[in-house]
Amino acid sequence: MSEKVKFTIDGKEYEGAKGQLLVDAAAENGVYIPVLCHWKDVIPAGSCRICTVKVNGRFVAACTTPVEDACVVENNTPELQDIRKAIVEMLFVEGNHFCPACEKSGDCDLQALGYRYQMMVPRFPYAFERRELDATSPKIFLEKNRCIFCKRCVRMIKNDKGQSYFAFKGRGKHLEISMDKKLAATMSDELAEKAMKVCPVGAILRKEVGFSTPIGQRKYDNVPIGSDIEKLHK
């Protein structure tokens, strides 16, 4: 049995396992720290920074920081909420997120966080990056303009040999998600479904099944993002 540690989040004391990632320890205690790139039990990337918290007064990513005994965590403070809201806004302006016609609407983590942080209009100018779509796979449609570079697909969607179907291409402002066309041509329906599910936005879409979930039954139609964690200890 792993060693227990005690820590505080916003002044309340909690208990977690030593070495456990802070974001997971918080979730187990009913404290929601938002994530976009993190996926439990997958090697963390720390790329989106939406989980930014303060530990002992320093900004860190909760998805890459292990919880330590007696650490003091700030999470739900006006300062951090505004930083997270700004990150959501930056992700919106950096891509082309047209929610009204996106089939991930209602199931999209980025959209759900936009609602959580009450984003009305981004404070940043739109980048208007234009990336080519990749529709060549028989199973999935890659909408590169919606990618937020979380790297979930790169880390999680692999074949039996451990080869990744997805990879980043380019650098800086030219960075974009791409897929191995040969591998993608052999992708199973199950893996395509998993790829669409792990994508926190509408960048990976399964072909020919769009909009099959009615409004009202989508992931965030009735429960706001994070409420499943927050209700654990209410």
Partner 1 sequence: MAQKVTIEPVTRVEGHGKVTIHLDDNMNVAQTRLHIVEFRGFERFVQGRPYWEAPVLVQRLCGICPVSHHLAAAKALDVIVGAGTGHGLTPTGEKMRRLMHYGQMFQSHALHFFHLSSPDFLLGYDADPAIRNVIGVAINFPELATQGVLMRKYGQEVIHYTAGKKIHGTGAIPGGINKNLTIEERDILLKGADPLNVDKMIEWADSAVQFFKDYYMKNREFVDNFAYFPSNHLSLVRKDGALDLYHGVLRAVDTDGNKILNDVDYQEYYKYIEEEVKSWSYMKFPYLKHLGKEKGWYRVGPLARLNTADFIPTPLAQREFEIYKAHTNGKPNNYCLHTHWARLIELLHSAEVIKELLLDPDLQKNDLVVKGTKGNEGVGLIEAPRGTLFHHYKINEDDQITMANLIVSTTNNNEPMNKSVNFVAKHMMNGQKEITEPMKNAVEIAIRAYDPCLSCATHALGKMPLDIKLYGPNGEKLDHYRS
Binding site for partner 1 (CB under 8 A): 100-101, 103, 133, 135-136, 141, 205, 207-216
Closer to partner 1 at the Cβ: 72 or 133?
Answer: 133
**Shortest distance in whole angstroms from residue 94 CB to partner 1:** 20
**Shortest distance in whole angstroms from residue 164 CB to partner 1:** 22
Closer to partner 1 at the Cβ: 47 or 213?
Answer: 213
**Shortest distance in whole angstroms from residue 215 CB to partner 1:** 3
Closer to partner 1 at the Cβ: 89 or 143?
Answer: 143
Cα Rg of the chain (Å, integer): 18
Q: CA 159, CA 174: separation in Å to the nearest integer?
A: 27
Closer to partner 1 at the Cβ: 1 or 101?
Answer: 101
Contact predicate 140/133, CB 8 Å: no
Q: CA 206, CA 229: separation in Å to the nearest integer?
A: 28
**Shortest distance in whole angstroms from residue 59 CB to partner 1:** 39
Among 71, 73, 48, which residue's Cα sits nearest to residue 59? 73
Contact predicate 183/165, CB 8 Å: yes
